[in-house]
């Protein structure tokens, strides 16, 4: 039996243990220094505070001070912490990661390097490893329309594994698929990693359309559909500029993940609040108090910089990205309806 160690006991990290156990892995789950209350619930066989599901007793749990033990002998390591924590956890776990056959990555976001260049998370992890003189195993980017609570409960779920080594991605996809957890594979790591954080940004715009409907009593479904279409176009354009395949954004990482996030994700919920007229800063502060991380908010500024640093695409090509940025920027506070409408109904 192969050993897999999941780093991060939050919603996605704990949810992933369900298909891993079901597909025959020996599963370890390590909690960061912020996860003690989550590990407490798991060990007591209570519902996970963020997914409502009970984590299998077959999963061995480890607390923050037991990282070395959690990584000992692991065949695969999974990075499943919030994007802001990826650099720190990577540094702490480098020794164990370097001995594994692969590093899987469910974290979604962008990461600036020491020179301020915005990197996709796999490249950021590789940069950190090189800085410490460590050779990494292949990285497998995991994305797609996966709500953590549904995955944790074993409900039908489709996801995608992306790796530069397409054969390795396919091998792990076959190894880990179950009747309710279907995995497709691709060699387009970049495309998967572009869509993962960008869909969080665009889900805010979709939420705004829903919030406008709630505030006025009149649905804004047409606006939401137009924003959805523009979002997929922009994800594809940015991905291509960075070397991705154009079609990746039209599959599970883009269309699929944006659909599920635009239905009920935290980024969508934040957008709903904006559409109903809440102040962006007050709305995000209240969600953070409830431990509801809205990763699309910090991703907006990083995405703007990434576009500016990337040849082959410009901010003129990304009107919906600019609209979301202007809506949440306290120095602009653009009107949500006007900004999304102008971006989504563009004729470009």
Do 237 and 304 lie in a common domain? yes
pLDDT of 214 strictly over 70: yes
Boundary of a domain, candidates 187, 204, 222 = 187
Do 176 and 242 lie in a common domain? no
Do 217 and 337 lie in a common domain? yes
**Residue 335, domain extent:** 190-344
pLDDT at residue 270, rounded to an integer: 97
Active site residue 199: yes
Question: Which comes out higher in pLDDT, residue 292 or 333?
Answer: 333
Do 231 and 310 lie in a common domain? yes
Q: What is the CA radius of gyration of the chain?
A: 19
pLDDT of 346 strictly over 80: no
pLDDT tens digits along 3-56: 999 999 999 999 999 999 999 999 999 999 999 999 999 999 999 999 999 999
pLDDT, average across residues 98-122? 95
Q: Which of 199, 233, 268, 276 is catalytic?
A: 199
pLDDT at residue 348, rounded to an integer: 61
pLDDT at residue 264, rounded to an integer: 86
Contact between 230 and 245 under an 8 Å Cβ cutoff? The reply is no
Do 80 and 136 lie in a common domain? yes
Total tally of structural domains belonging to the chain: 2
Residues in CB range of 44: below 8 A, 6 or more apart: none
pLDDT at residue 267, rounded to an integer: 95
Do 200 and 317 lie in a common domain? yes
Boundary of a domain, candidates 187, 216, 242 = 187
Do 14 and 111 lie in a common domain? yes
Q: Model-level pTM?
A: 0.94
Q: Which of 42-51, 220-229, 244-253, 287-296 has the lowest mean pLDDT?
A: 287-296
Tokens (6 digits) for 105? 């990555």
pLDDT of 254 strictly over 70: yes
pLDDT tens digits along 137-153: 999 999 999 999 999 99
pLDDT at residue 276, rounded to an integer: 97
**What is the overall mean pLDDT for the chain?**
96
pLDDT, average across residues 315-341? 97
Do 227 and 179 lie in a common domain? no
pLDDT of 126 strictly over 80: yes
pLDDT, average across residues 76-94? 96
Boundary of a domain, candidates 142, 165, 187 = 187
Report the percentage of the chain scoring pLDDT > 90: 95
Do 19 and 143 lie in a common domain? yes
Do 85 and 206 lie in a common domain? no
pLDDT of 250 strictly over 90: yes
pLDDT at residue 181, rounded to an integer: 98
Q: Cα–Cα distances in Å, from 263 out to 17, 174, 205, 209, 311?
A: 24, 29, 12, 11, 33
pLDDT tens digits along 256-297: 999 999 998 899 999 999 999 999 999 999 999 987 889 899
Do 231 and 295 lie in a common domain? yes
Can you give the CATH number for the domain in which 21 is found?
Answer: 3.40.50.720
pLDDT, average across residues 212-223? 97
pLDDT, average across residues 87-113? 96
Do 179 and 245 lie in a common domain? no
Can you give the CATH number for the domain in which 229 is found?
Answer: 1.10.1040.10
């Amino acid at each position: 039996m192969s050993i897999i160690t999941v780093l991060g006991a939050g919603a996605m990290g704990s949810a992933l243990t369900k298909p891993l156990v079901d597909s025959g892995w020996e599963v370890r789950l390590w909690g960061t220094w912020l996860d003690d209350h989550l590990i407490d619930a798991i060990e007591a066989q209570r519902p996970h505070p963020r997914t409502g599901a009970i984590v299998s007793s077959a999963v061995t749990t480890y607390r923050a001070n037991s990282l070395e033990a959690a990584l000992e002998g692991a065949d695969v390591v999974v990075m499943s912490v919030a994007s802001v924590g990826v650099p720190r956890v990577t540094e702490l776990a480098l020794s164990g990661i370097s001995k594994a056959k692969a590093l899987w990555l469910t974290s979604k976001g962008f990461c600036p390097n020491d020179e301020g260049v915005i990197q996709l998370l796999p490249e950021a992890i590789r940069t950190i490893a090189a800085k410490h003189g460590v050779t990494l195993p292949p990285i497998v980017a995991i994305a797609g329309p996966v709500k953590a609570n549904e995955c944790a409960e074993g409900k039908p779920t489709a996801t995608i594994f992306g790796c530069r080594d397409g054969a390795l991605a396919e091998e792990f996809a076959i190894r880990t698929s179950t009747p309710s957890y279907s995995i497709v594979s691709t060699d387009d790591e970049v495309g998967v990693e572009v869509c993962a954080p960008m869909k969080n940004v665009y889900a805010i715009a979709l939420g705004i359309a829903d919030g406008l409907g709630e505030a006025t009593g009149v649905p804004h479904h047409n606006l939401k559909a137009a924003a959805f279409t523009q979002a997929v176009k922009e994800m594809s354009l940015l991905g291509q500029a960075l070397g991705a395949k154009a079609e990746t954004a039209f599959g599970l990482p883009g269309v699929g993940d944006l659909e599920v996030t635009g239905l009920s994700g935290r980024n969508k919920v934040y957008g709903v609040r904006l559409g109903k007229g809440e102040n962006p800063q007050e709305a995000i502060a209240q969600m953070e108090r409830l431990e509801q991380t809205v990763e699309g908010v910090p991703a907006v500024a990083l995405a703007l910089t990434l576009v500016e640093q990337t040849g082959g695409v410009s901010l003129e090509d990304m009107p919906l990205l600019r609209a979301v940025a202007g809506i949440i920027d306290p120095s602009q506070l653009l009107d949500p309806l006007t900004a999304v409408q102008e971006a989504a109904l563009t004729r470009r």
